Amino acid sequence: MTDLILTTYDWVPKLPRGLVRDLRVRWALEEARLPYRVESTPFRDRGPAHFAAQPFGQIPWLTDGDLTIFESGAILLHLAEKSPALMPTDPRGRAEVLEWVIAALNSVDLPSQPWALFRFMGFPGEAPEAKFVDDFLKSRLDRMETVLAGREWLVGDRFSVADLLMADVMRQVERFDGLANHLACRGYVKRLVARPAFVKAYNDQMAHFAAADAA
Protein backbone atom coordinates (compact mmCIF):
# COMPACT_ATOMS: atom_id res chain seq x y z
CA MET A 1 0.00 0.00 0.00
CA THR A 2 1.28 3.46 -0.86
CA ASP A 3 1.65 5.60 2.22
CA LEU A 4 -1.01 8.22 2.73
CA ILE A 5 0.30 11.78 2.83
CA LEU A 6 -1.35 14.34 5.10
CA THR A 7 -0.52 17.97 4.32
CA THR A 8 -0.79 20.69 6.96
CA TYR A 9 0.76 24.12 7.48
CA ASP A 10 4.48 24.39 8.18
CA TRP A 11 3.69 26.67 11.14
CA VAL A 12 0.74 28.43 12.80
CA PRO A 13 0.54 30.97 15.66
CA LYS A 14 0.37 29.53 19.18
CA LEU A 15 -3.34 30.25 19.78
CA PRO A 16 -4.90 27.73 17.35
CA ARG A 17 -2.35 24.97 18.02
CA GLY A 18 -4.08 21.84 19.26
CA LEU A 19 -7.20 22.75 17.25
CA VAL A 20 -5.77 22.86 13.71
CA ARG A 21 -7.76 20.53 11.54
CA ASP A 22 -5.00 18.15 10.54
CA LEU A 23 -5.42 16.86 14.12
CA ARG A 24 -8.67 15.06 13.41
CA VAL A 25 -7.11 13.36 10.38
CA ARG A 26 -3.99 12.35 12.35
CA TRP A 27 -6.34 10.98 15.01
CA ALA A 28 -8.29 8.88 12.49
CA LEU A 29 -5.07 7.57 10.91
CA GLU A 30 -3.78 6.55 14.34
CA GLU A 31 -7.07 4.86 15.28
CA ALA A 32 -7.00 2.92 12.00
CA ARG A 33 -3.25 2.22 12.21
CA LEU A 34 -2.89 3.26 8.59
CA PRO A 35 0.67 4.14 7.46
CA TYR A 36 1.05 7.84 6.68
CA ARG A 37 3.49 10.69 6.59
CA VAL A 38 2.99 14.41 7.15
CA GLU A 39 4.09 17.11 4.73
CA SER A 40 3.99 20.88 5.12
CA THR A 41 2.72 23.76 3.03
CA PRO A 42 3.60 27.40 3.86
CA PHE A 43 1.19 29.15 6.22
CA ARG A 44 2.33 32.61 5.13
CA ASP A 45 2.70 32.31 1.36
CA ARG A 46 -0.13 30.28 -0.07
CA GLY A 47 0.64 29.79 -3.73
CA PRO A 48 -1.16 28.27 -6.73
CA ALA A 49 -0.16 24.71 -5.75
CA HIS A 50 -1.92 25.19 -2.41
CA PHE A 51 -5.11 26.51 -4.01
CA ALA A 52 -5.00 23.69 -6.56
CA ALA A 53 -5.05 21.14 -3.71
CA GLN A 54 -7.39 23.10 -1.41
CA PRO A 55 -9.56 25.69 -3.21
CA PHE A 56 -10.17 27.71 -0.01
CA GLY A 57 -6.44 28.02 0.72
CA GLN A 58 -6.80 26.03 3.93
CA ILE A 59 -5.51 22.72 5.24
CA PRO A 60 -5.54 19.74 5.52
CA TRP A 61 -5.57 17.69 2.40
CA LEU A 62 -4.82 14.00 2.00
CA THR A 63 -2.96 12.39 -0.88
CA ASP A 64 -3.95 8.78 -1.48
CA GLY A 65 -2.18 7.44 -4.57
CA ASP A 66 -3.35 9.65 -7.43
CA LEU A 67 -6.24 11.14 -5.42
CA THR A 68 -5.99 14.37 -3.44
CA ILE A 69 -8.90 15.03 -1.10
CA PHE A 70 -9.65 18.25 0.79
CA GLU A 71 -12.15 19.02 3.58
CA SER A 72 -11.38 17.20 6.81
CA GLY A 73 -14.90 15.75 6.93
CA ALA A 74 -14.48 14.24 3.45
CA ILE A 75 -11.05 12.89 4.38
CA LEU A 76 -12.51 11.19 7.47
CA LEU A 77 -15.26 9.52 5.42
CA HIS A 78 -12.68 8.46 2.82
CA LEU A 79 -10.49 6.90 5.52
CA ALA A 80 -13.52 5.26 7.13
CA GLU A 81 -13.95 3.21 3.94
CA LYS A 82 -10.49 1.76 4.53
CA SER A 83 -10.86 0.67 8.13
CA PRO A 84 -13.55 -1.06 10.21
CA ALA A 85 -11.88 0.65 13.21
CA LEU A 86 -13.49 3.86 11.95
CA MET A 87 -16.85 2.68 10.60
CA PRO A 88 -18.96 -0.48 10.81
CA THR A 89 -19.37 -2.27 7.47
CA ASP A 90 -23.12 -3.01 7.63
CA PRO A 91 -25.55 -0.67 5.81
CA ARG A 92 -27.18 0.63 8.99
CA GLY A 93 -23.88 1.36 10.68
CA ARG A 94 -22.57 3.09 7.57
CA ALA A 95 -25.70 5.25 7.25
CA GLU A 96 -25.53 6.22 10.93
CA VAL A 97 -21.86 7.19 10.68
CA LEU A 98 -22.65 9.28 7.62
CA GLU A 99 -25.55 11.13 9.26
CA TRP A 100 -23.63 11.85 12.46
CA VAL A 101 -20.54 13.02 10.58
CA ILE A 102 -22.73 15.46 8.65
CA ALA A 103 -24.53 16.44 11.88
CA ALA A 104 -21.17 17.27 13.49
CA LEU A 105 -20.24 19.49 10.53
CA ASN A 106 -23.54 21.13 9.64
CA SER A 107 -25.63 21.06 12.83
CA VAL A 108 -23.03 21.43 15.62
CA ASP A 109 -19.93 22.99 14.00
CA LEU A 110 -22.14 25.45 12.14
CA PRO A 111 -22.93 27.44 15.31
CA SER A 112 -19.89 26.34 17.34
CA GLN A 113 -17.29 27.58 14.87
CA PRO A 114 -18.62 31.18 14.76
CA TRP A 115 -19.16 31.02 18.53
CA ALA A 116 -15.52 30.01 19.10
CA LEU A 117 -14.19 32.47 16.50
CA PHE A 118 -16.02 35.35 18.20
CA ARG A 119 -14.15 34.42 21.39
CA PHE A 120 -10.80 34.00 19.62
CA MET A 121 -11.36 37.53 18.31
CA GLY A 122 -12.28 38.90 21.75
CA PHE A 123 -15.54 40.48 20.57
CA PRO A 124 -17.72 42.15 23.23
CA GLY A 125 -20.61 39.67 22.83
CA GLU A 126 -23.38 42.19 23.49
CA ALA A 127 -24.78 42.51 19.95
CA PRO A 128 -27.97 40.72 18.92
CA GLU A 129 -25.87 38.74 16.43
CA ALA A 130 -23.64 37.50 19.28
CA LYS A 131 -26.62 36.51 21.41
CA PHE A 132 -28.24 34.78 18.43
CA VAL A 133 -25.14 32.61 17.93
CA ASP A 134 -25.03 31.87 21.69
CA ASP A 135 -28.65 30.68 21.59
CA PHE A 136 -28.11 28.78 18.33
CA LEU A 137 -25.19 26.85 19.86
CA LYS A 138 -27.09 26.26 23.10
CA SER A 139 -30.06 24.79 21.21
CA ARG A 140 -27.78 22.28 19.47
CA LEU A 141 -25.84 21.40 22.62
CA ASP A 142 -29.11 20.89 24.51
CA ARG A 143 -30.08 18.29 21.94
CA MET A 144 -26.65 16.65 21.98
CA GLU A 145 -26.85 16.56 25.78
CA THR A 146 -30.02 14.45 25.54
CA VAL A 147 -28.44 12.17 22.95
CA LEU A 148 -25.21 11.68 24.89
CA ALA A 149 -26.90 11.27 28.27
CA GLY A 150 -28.46 8.10 26.89
CA ARG A 151 -25.49 6.39 25.29
CA GLU A 152 -21.74 6.13 25.20
CA TRP A 153 -21.24 6.25 21.40
CA LEU A 154 -23.16 7.88 18.55
CA VAL A 155 -23.28 4.75 16.37
CA GLY A 156 -24.01 1.33 17.84
CA ASP A 157 -22.06 0.21 20.86
CA ARG A 158 -18.63 1.19 19.59
CA PHE A 159 -16.28 4.05 18.73
CA SER A 160 -16.50 5.38 15.17
CA VAL A 161 -15.25 8.32 13.18
CA ALA A 162 -18.56 10.03 13.99
CA ASP A 163 -17.48 10.25 17.66
CA LEU A 164 -14.01 11.39 16.65
CA LEU A 165 -15.44 14.28 14.63
CA MET A 166 -18.22 15.25 17.05
CA ALA A 167 -15.75 15.34 19.95
CA ASP A 168 -13.25 17.34 17.90
CA VAL A 169 -15.97 19.88 17.03
CA MET A 170 -17.00 20.12 20.71
CA ARG A 171 -13.35 20.63 21.77
CA GLN A 172 -13.41 24.14 20.27
CA VAL A 173 -16.41 24.93 22.49
CA GLU A 174 -14.78 23.38 25.56
CA ARG A 175 -11.64 25.45 24.96
CA PHE A 176 -13.72 28.52 25.88
CA ASP A 177 -15.50 26.69 28.71
CA GLY A 178 -18.67 26.40 26.64
CA LEU A 179 -19.68 22.96 27.93
CA ALA A 180 -20.06 24.01 31.57
CA ASN A 181 -23.85 23.53 31.38
CA HIS A 182 -23.71 20.41 29.19
CA LEU A 183 -22.04 17.80 31.35
CA ALA A 184 -22.84 14.78 29.19
CA CYS A 185 -21.15 16.57 26.27
CA ARG A 186 -18.21 17.47 28.49
CA GLY A 187 -17.83 13.90 29.74
CA TYR A 188 -18.06 12.60 26.16
CA VAL A 189 -15.25 14.90 25.00
CA LYS A 190 -13.15 13.97 28.03
CA ARG A 191 -13.63 10.26 27.29
CA LEU A 192 -12.72 10.67 23.62
CA VAL A 193 -9.58 12.74 24.16
CA ALA A 194 -8.29 10.13 26.63
CA ARG A 195 -7.89 7.67 23.75
CA PRO A 196 -4.22 6.93 22.99
CA ALA A 197 -4.74 7.76 19.29
CA PHE A 198 -5.98 11.26 20.18
CA VAL A 199 -3.09 11.83 22.60
CA LYS A 200 -0.56 10.82 19.94
CA ALA A 201 -2.24 13.00 17.28
CA TYR A 202 -2.35 15.99 19.64
CA ASN A 203 1.28 15.62 20.69
CA ASP A 204 2.37 15.15 17.08
CA GLN A 205 0.58 18.34 15.99
CA MET A 206 2.08 20.34 18.85
CA ALA A 207 5.58 18.96 18.08
CA HIS A 208 5.16 19.71 14.36
CA PHE A 209 4.47 23.41 14.96
CA ALA A 210 7.03 23.66 17.82
CA ALA A 211 9.71 22.33 15.47
CA ALA A 212 8.92 25.22 13.11
CA ASP A 213 9.41 27.72 15.98
CA ALA A 214 12.86 26.23 16.64
CA ALA A 215 13.90 26.23 12.97
- Interaction between residue 203 and a second copy (CB under 8 A): no
Q: How far is the CB of 63 from a second copy (least distance, A)?
A: 11
Residues 50-89 that bind a second copy (CB under 8 A): 51, 55-58, 66-67, 69-71, 73-74, 77-78
- Interaction between residue 1 and a second copy (CB under 8 A): no
Residues 145-164 that bind a second copy (CB under 8 A): 146-147
- Interaction between residue 29 and a second copy (CB under 8 A): no
C-alpha span between 21 and 140 (Å, rounded): 22
C-alpha span between 188 and 170 (Å, rounded): 9
Nearer to a second copy, 69 or 85 (CB): 69
Helix 161-174, helix 109-120: angle, nearest 10: 30
Q: Specify whether the CB–CB gap between 177 and 104 falls below 8 A.
A: no
Nearer to a second copy, 3 or 135 (CB): 135
- Interaction between residue 4 and a second copy (CB under 8 A): no
Q: How far is the CB of 114 from a second copy (least distance, A)?
A: 5
- Interaction between residue 113 and a second copy (CB under 8 A): yes
**Residue 56: Cβ within 10 Å count:** 9
Identify residue 21 by its one-letter amino acid code: R
Q: How far is the CB of 28 from a second copy (least distance, A)?
A: 14
Nearest to 191 by CA among 172, 164, 173, 169: 164
Q: How far is the CB of 69 from a second copy (least distance, A)?
A: 5
Among 37, 42, 123, 151, binds a second copy (CB under 8 A): 123
Binding site for a second copy (CB under 8 A): 51, 55-58, 66-67, 69-71, 73-74, 77-78, 91-92, 95, 98-99, 101-103, 105-107, 109-111, 113-114, 117-118, 121, 123-130, 132-133, 136, 140, 143-144, 146-147
